Structure 1
Amino acid sequence: MATCSDCTWFNRIGEEAGDYESGKGDCVSEHQDEKGNFWLSKPVFEGDGACPRFSKSR
């Protein structure tokens, strides 16, 4: 089973961050609408199951 830690969109949160927890990261994805590009993020953990936007990291 694929997990968030295997995804291109997963970005680990550094220890210096105020919301740091071991294994925590942000799922950051780029979207586009008629006004232009924008980014959305949501907190996830590296062991969470992959979502429909999963993209295997290289």
Structure 2
Amino acid sequence: MSKKVSLDEFAGELNEQVAEFERRYRARHEHSPSMYPLEFDEDNSGLWFEFFVGFCSTGEL
């Protein structure tokens, strides 16, 4: 029998990943602000999603 995963579990895991991404990104920013900026122009704001998906896929920034 397969285990069921609730929306709450999924959302909780996603929130944890977002928090970990933010923590690691900010730490990288401290050491290399030009490589890890905290803002992008609106027309480049999709980079946040790309960076996050890459982080979720590999665990790396």
**TM-score between the two structures when normalised by the length of structure 2:** 0.22
Which is helix-richer, 1 or 2?
A: 2
Which is strand-richer, 1 or 2?
A: 1
Structure of greater Rg = 2
**TM-score between the two structures when normalised by the length of structure 1:** 0.23
Highest RCO, 1 vs 2 (Cα 8 Å, sep ≥ 6): 1
